[in-house]
Amino acid sequence: MLKRREGKLMKLRNKYFLIFFSVFLVISLAMSFIAYFLSNHILMHKYEEMSDENLSYIMEITEKELNQLTNTFGFLANNTLVLERIQTDYGHRKAFEKIRDDRIVTHTINAMSTFDVFASIQGIYIYGYNGEEYWHTIGNDFFENTTIQEELSKVEISSIGLTYLGIEESYYHLADSEHVLKFARKLYNHFGAAIGLIYFELDADYFRKLYNNERIYSDRKLFLTDHEGRMIYHESKNLVSQKLDTEGHAGITVEKELEDYGWKLISMTPADRIYDENSLIIKVTLITAAISIILEMLILMVITGRIVRPINKLTKAMTQVRHGDLQVQVDHKSDDEIGLLTNNFNRMTRQLKENMDKEIAYNKAMNDAEYKALQAQINPHFMYNSLNALKWLAGIQKADNIINIVDALWILLRKTSSLKGQFVPLKSEIEIIDAYGMIQQVRYKGKFEIIYAIQDEHMEKIIPKYILQPFVENAIFYGIEPKKGPGIIQVVTEVVGDDLKIMVMDDGVGIEKEKLRMILTDSSKHQHEAGLNPIGIKNVDERLKLLYGNHYGVHIDSTLGEGTTITIHIPINTSQEG
């Protein structure tokens, strides 16, 4: 005993060594990781805040300029002089009237040229659905007006506000910029009916000039993209109108969306710029060291708690079992002696619970199975005397068919009342089926025939009693009886390895698939609705599974119009007593 105890102490000593070694290793790794993580986190957070703050400022400026642009052309779209000019049909008027009205509209537009954004507008084209047109600061240098109208007809213009059409080459031959931002807005008369469009182009360099005058951090890259991801602003003029590719960017990216146009302001800070600032590493290292000491204390407390906790759990669980609670399970997994003890305890309580549940379920199943047999055992002496009297009267009247029924009832009563125990030879069950079949033949008058294909050595195989008659009964009542013409019921046995299979087959009307599914899974009510013996089939299947396990039991195959085959699968066991 002393040596065995010393062996256990050695194991605990080794375990403590490994525990403390693991503690210091974890602490060392944790210190390095935390130092790196904190320094990186602080730097990233710092740059994110700065980028977000700067981008918010740029976005405020951008929104202000776009609002000015929207308001400017909103004024034009609602200006009475502009609307009258584009609605007037000058086909029957003098030429000077159109020139006069054009000057009025031009003067109106020039009055708005004080806005900063107006200086970057390349040209304005107003088109009326009645065919009237107006050009501002452009003329023959503009592409054919039909070209503009065709392009505008391909896009959907919003019913309110400006519609951004994209960043493309200008329709204006003498444009200062290679690329322009194209916009359009619908015109409505005083009755709310659409009467035409205003189209204008904004120099793409406008935002370059705007942002160059503002405070943008030199270590960040700023982009303005449209709804298609094409760049409206880039520090390199040659990349304007191309799609922005952010894939592979290492660093901080902050985005803000201009909801009215679907544009995005994007700020990118390169990773190498972020990691240049490592002044926090020393502070982070000191903080990490202090945290590591605290972690060591916490980890040691946790480890000692983990050693004691499973023992306390096991002690509490044993107390519950002592008071009759067999459902208790201890949740603890380890490869040491405590883990082995816990696993054995859990296995023991599960086995006890399973055995108790199995015994309760088996007794219930046996009570249900013997229900009918017990009815037949009520005062058998009285039944024997009554059958003798019936047979004597039938003999006097020479009623041979009644004599046959009485003989069959005699055999059936004798067999069911004399069978003791839970198991009987197969031949005893066959005798019960013969007697039962003889009685039913009187009612059905040759409607069915029972055929046996059983080898002699199979007759002595030991099986649970009362397992065949319910299936023969189902075959007669629910298979053969609804069928037109006579039917055949076959009882066939087959030995497969160490198992015995007994098949009860009929060529009756069969069972529907949905009803077949309910037989062994649903309640007896559903079995009865399916046209089956609600006590017999479920009872037999449960008894066999309780006796031999879920591998054994009853299996049913059926085809509508062809018949049903019920297979009883049990192990061969000649050691059971009948």
- Cα–Cα distance, 516 to 246 (Å, whole number): 62
Query: Which DSSP letter does residue 478 get?
Result: I
Element (DSSP H or E) covering residue 252: strand 251-258
Bigger pLDDT: 462 or 310?
462
Provide the pLDDT for residue 527.
Answer: 47
Instruction: Reply yes or no on whether the pLDDT at 493 is more than 90.
Output: yes
Q: Could you tell me the two tokens for 221?
A: 């890259």
What percentage of the chain reaches a pLDDT higher than 70?
70
Q: Residues 453-486: pLDDT tens digits?
A: 999 999 999 999 888 988 999 899 889 999 999 9
Between the CA of residue 134 and those of 88, 164, 234, 537, what are the distances in Å? 12, 21, 34, 93
pLDDT at 375: 45
pLDDT given for residue 453 in this prediction: 94
Would you state the pLDDT for residue 472?
A: 92
Mean pLDDT of 446-450: 91
pLDDT at 75 exceeding the cut of 50: yes
pLDDT at position 575 is 52
Nearest CA to 133 among 122, 147, 121?
147
pLDDT surpassing 50 at residue 435: yes
Judge whether 270 and 75 are in contact, CB under 8 Å: no
Q: Is the pLDDT of residue 94 over 60?
A: yes
Highest mean pLDDT among 187-196, 199-208, 294-303: 187-196
Short-list 568, 549, 578, CA closest to 474: 568
- Using pLDDT thresholds of 50, 70 and 90, give the confidence band for residue 12: very low
Which of these ranges, 258-272, 309-323, 431-445, has the smallest mean pLDDT? Answer: 309-323
Q: Answer for the pair 567, 520: CB distance below 8 angstroms, yes or no.
A: no
pLDDT tens column, 411-434: 666 666 554 667 889 998 998 898
Tokens 């037999």, located at residue: 540
**CA distances from residue 247 to 231, 244, 250 in whole angstroms, order as listed:** 15, 9, 9
Q: Identify the H or E element spanning 207.
A: helix 206-212
pLDDT tier for residue 304 given thresholds of 50, 70 and 90: low
Q: Is 374 a residue whose pLDDT tops 50?
A: no
Least confident of 26-30, 313-317, 398-402: 398-402
The Cα-based distances of 464 to 196, 310, 414 in angstroms read 95, 46, 18
Q: How far is CA 422 from CA 71, 300, 367, 370, 467, in A?
A: 97, 61, 11, 10, 11
The mean pLDDT value of the chain amounts to 77
Confidence of residue 2 (pLDDT cuts 50, 70, 90): very low
- Nearest CA to 172 out of 134, 126, 203 is that of 203
User: Which residue carries 């002393």 as its tokens?
Assistant: 2
Output the CA torsion sign for 331, 333, 336, 337. Answer: positive
The string of pLDDT tens digits covering residues 202-244 is: 888 888 888 877 666 566 788 888 888 888 888 777 788 788 8
Confidence band (pLDDT; 50, 70, 90) for 138? low
| More confident: 91 or 366 | 91
pLDDT at 264 over 60: yes
pLDDT of residue 393: 57
For the segment 107-118, the average pLDDT, to the nearest whole number, is 77
Whether the per-residue pLDDT at 488 is higher than 90: the answer is yes
Helix (H, G, I), strand (E, B) or coil at 72: helix
pLDDT at 357: 74
Q: Give the Cα separation of 192 and 190 in Å (integer).
A: 6
Q: Using H for helix, E for strand and C for coil, what is the string for 460-475?
A: HCEEECCCCHHHHHHH
Q: Decide: helix, strand or coil at residue 247.
A: coil
**pLDDT at 170 (0 to 100):** 79
Mean pLDDT score, 369-391: 51
Domains of the chain: 79-208 (3.30.450), 419-571 (3.30.565.10)
Give Dmax (Cα) for the chain. Answer: 141
Give the model's confidence band at 522: pLDDT under 50 very low, under 70 low, under 90 confident, else very high. low
Q: Which residue has the higher pLDDT, 176 or 498?
A: 498
**pLDDT (0 to 100) of residue 567:** 95
Distance, CA of 47 to CA of 448 (rounded, Å): 92
**End-to-end CA distance of the chain, in Å?**
51
Residue 426 pLDDT:
92
Residue with the bigger pLDDT between 286 and 130: it is 130
**pLDDT grade for 451, boundaries at 50, 70 and 90:** very high
**Mean pLDDT score, 530-552:** 76
How far apart CA 288 and CA 459 sit, in angstroms, is: 83
Q: Quick count: other Cβ atoms within 10 Å of Cβ 373?
A: 15
Tell me: the pLDDT tens digits for 45-59?
A: 787 888 888 888 888
**What pLDDT, on the 0 to 100 scale, is given for residue 557?**
92
pLDDT given for residue 316 in this prediction: 80
Phi, psi (rounded to 5 degrees) for 169: -70, 150
Which pLDDT does position 531 carry in this prediction?
46
* Residues above pLDDT 90, as percent of the chain: 13
Q: What is the pLDDT of residue 388?
A: 56
- Provide DSSP, 277-339: --TTHHHHHHHHHHHHHHHHHHHHHHHHHHHHHHHHHHHHHHHHHHTT-TT-------SSHHH
> Closest by alpha carbon to 450, among 427, 473, 466, 467?
473
